């Protein structure tokens, strides 16, 4: 049975890079008819685990990455929280001490640091001298009588080489002489990541450890612990990390200022913040930016678009196929096609995937997707009026690919505000109306034509304007800009005849009258 796992720490953030790792684990398990687990690395007792974990679990659910065992699901290997598995870890520590694969060490931090600095000064690899190692209870008692506190370290070999056949990176060699006697249990009795991870992987019967490249250096110490405990080794696969935009440096959730120097990244971030502000989200750079999955959910991206893009960050089927259904992802995924080189996160490329998925979405689903944004912005009541569906459908159809993410519907707010509440872009109003008296005169004339146009639909309205332009002997540009500002308050937008038809005769006339009155008042 193929069993993979992803082990998030309860930080409250679901990082794009972490999702890519979880996705590859999920795909591999589904491809082989196996199981995907979530395990929570919550050994830091200072955190509110439940509150911090919820956004992570919600993010996975939103993305459609389901887990077979773990939090809120349970399973035969529970508990799935490291904080609840201390007794199991203690048993492992005792076995390692009894076998001589680990030892109690009473060195003070400054003493180990002094050895480290001496090795650096002498330009040699630092290897702890083990001078404060206690191999007997009597030795431990003697050190304790000096006021020292003991930790438990693994006793790694000092010669030979560990060879790992990594499913992504191939043959990897680790000289034992370069490895340290890492601490696996603190003086207070709590156990550290390396021990806990090995024990959990064994207890949960993990067959494949598929994780980020930065964990490659952890492999020797974890293999040593597993072998010392008599555990069969899982197969290892170390994925290339997700790099910063246009870089080969690993992307971090805490370097937003640096990423905003990238034009595409800034464009996506600014769009998201604008939408967040409109719907009343309280945001900060730390918790709301394009490195965090919650950003994309709140802005209105489609989960399938994000998953499809992340699939291609470090994996490819061929040199041309980009769009994959979930079933196609599962059917085609293999670790053999994972690249070794870091994959640079391209925010504009993600946008292009989002556009493709959004454009392919049936209109009924698109309406359901954008409606909550209008409600959260206070533009439509909840429940919505009975005419909301048709108007929203008409706006979405007319807007076309202008609506790239669900939150972009807020750029069409002019269709959902009362006529007397329409806000004007002052620069557009000045240019197209105040500074263009000839256009205002034409607008007044065309207003009378609009009052009698029948039916008030796109073809008839287009014909009416063309006839008006011909009769007046003018160019269409002499009126359409003024008309658009009067109707929408903005200088740009989608088709003018669509705009008139969606607003309807009554609102169109009322808005023209209001714009003319505003001019007269100024």
Active-site residue numbers? 253
CA distance 101 to 93: 9
For 335, the token pair is 């670790």
Cis peptide before 129 (omega within 30 of 0): no
Distances (CA, A) of 184 to 110, 221, 228, 312, 413: 19, 10, 13, 37, 58
- H-helix or E-strand containing 171? strand 170-175
SS3 of 493, please?
coil
Whether the Cβ atoms of residue 208 and residue 166 lie closer than 8 Å to each other: no
Whether the Cβ atoms of residue 452 and residue 465 lie closer than 8 Å to each other: no
CA distance 271 to 255: 18
In the beta sheet, which residues pair with residue 3? Answer: 35
Burial 283-303 (b: 16+ CB within 10 A, else e): eeeeebbbbbbbbbbbbbbbb
For 69, the token pair is 């065992």
Beta strands 151-154; 183-185: pairing state:
antiparallel
SS3 of 142, please?
helix
3-state secondary structure 359-383: HHCCHHHHHHHHHHHHHHCCCCCCC
Whether the Cβ atoms of residue 242 and residue 341 lie closer than 8 Å to each other: no
CA distance 209 to 235: 6
CA distance 94 to 86: 12
Whether the Cβ atoms of residue 152 and residue 158 lie closer than 8 Å to each other: no
Whether the Cβ atoms of residue 157 and residue 164 lie closer than 8 Å to each other: no
- H-helix or E-strand containing 466? helix 458-472
Q: What contacts 7, CB < 8 A, 6 or more positions away? A: 38, 39, 40, 41, 197, 200
Whether the Cβ atoms of residue 490 and residue 425 lie closer than 8 Å to each other: yes
Whether the Cβ atoms of residue 504 and residue 430 lie closer than 8 Å to each other: no
Q: Phi and psi of 81, rounded to 5°? A: -110, 125
CA distance 173 to 161: 6
């Amino acid at each position: 049975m193929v069993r993979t796992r992803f082990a998030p720490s309860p930080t409250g953030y679901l990082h794009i890079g972490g999702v890519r790792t979880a996705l590859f684990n999920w795909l591999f398990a589904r491809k082989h008819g196996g199981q995907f687990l979530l395990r929570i690395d919550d050994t830091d007792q200072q955190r509110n685990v439940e509150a911090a974990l919820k956004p992570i679990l919600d993010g996975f659910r939103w993305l459609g990455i389901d887990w077979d065992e773990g939090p809120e699901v349970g399973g035969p290997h529970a508990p799935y929280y490291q904080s609840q598995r201390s007794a199991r870890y203690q048993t492992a520590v005792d076995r390692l001490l009894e076998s001589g694969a680990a030892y109690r060490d009473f060195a003070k931090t400054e003493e180990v640091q002094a050895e480290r600095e001496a090795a650096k000064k002498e330009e040699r690899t630092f290897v702890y001298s083990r001078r404060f190692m206690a191999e007997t209870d009597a030795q431990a008692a003697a050190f304790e009588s000096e006021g020292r506190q003991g930790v438990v370290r693994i006793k790694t070999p000092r010669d030979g080489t560990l060879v790992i056949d990594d499913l992504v990176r191939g043959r990897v060699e680790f000289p034992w002489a370069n490895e340290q006697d890492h601490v696996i249990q603190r003086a207070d009795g709590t156990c550290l990541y390396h021990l806990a991870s090995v024990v959990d992987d064994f207890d949960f019967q993990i067959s494949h450890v598929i994780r980020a490249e930065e964990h490659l250096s952890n492999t020797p110490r974890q293999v040593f612990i597993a072998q010392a405990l008599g555990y069969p080794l899982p197969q290892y696969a170390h994925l290339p990390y997700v790099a910063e935009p246009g870089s080969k440096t690993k992307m971090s959730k805490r370097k937003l200022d640096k990423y905003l120097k990238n034009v595409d990244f800034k464009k996506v971030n600014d769009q998201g913040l604008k939408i967040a502000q409109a719907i009343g989200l309280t945001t900060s750079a730390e918790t709301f930016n394009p490195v965090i999955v919650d950003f994309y959910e709140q802005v209105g991206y489609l989960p399938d678009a994000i998953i499809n893009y992340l699939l291609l960050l470090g994996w490819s089927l061929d040199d041309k196929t980009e769009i994959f259904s979930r079933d196609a992802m599962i059917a085609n995924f293999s670790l053999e096609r994972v690249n070794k080189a870091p994959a640079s996160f391209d925010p504009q490329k993600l946008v292009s995937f989002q556009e493709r998925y959004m454009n392919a979405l049936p209109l009924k689903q698109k309406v359901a997707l954008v409606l909550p944004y209008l409600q959260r912005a206070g533009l439509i009541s909840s429940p919505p009026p009975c005419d909301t569906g048709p108007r929203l459908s008409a706006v979405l159809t007319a807007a076309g690919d202008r609506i790239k993410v669900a939150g972009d519907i807020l750029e069409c707010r002019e269709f959902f505000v009362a006529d007397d509440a329409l806000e004007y872009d002052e620069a557009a109003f000045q240019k197209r109306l105040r500074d263009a008296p000839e256009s205002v005169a034409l607008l007044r004339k065309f207003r009378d034509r609009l009052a009698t146009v029948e039916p008030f639909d796109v073809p008839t309205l287009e014909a009416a304007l063309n006839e008006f332009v011909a009769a007046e002997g003018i160019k269409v540009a002499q009126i359409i800009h003024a008309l658009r500002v009067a109707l929408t308050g903005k200088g740009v937008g989608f088709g003018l005849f669509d705009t008139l038809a969606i607003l309807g005769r009554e609102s169109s006339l009322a808005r023209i009258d209001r714009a003319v009155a505003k001019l007269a008042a100024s």
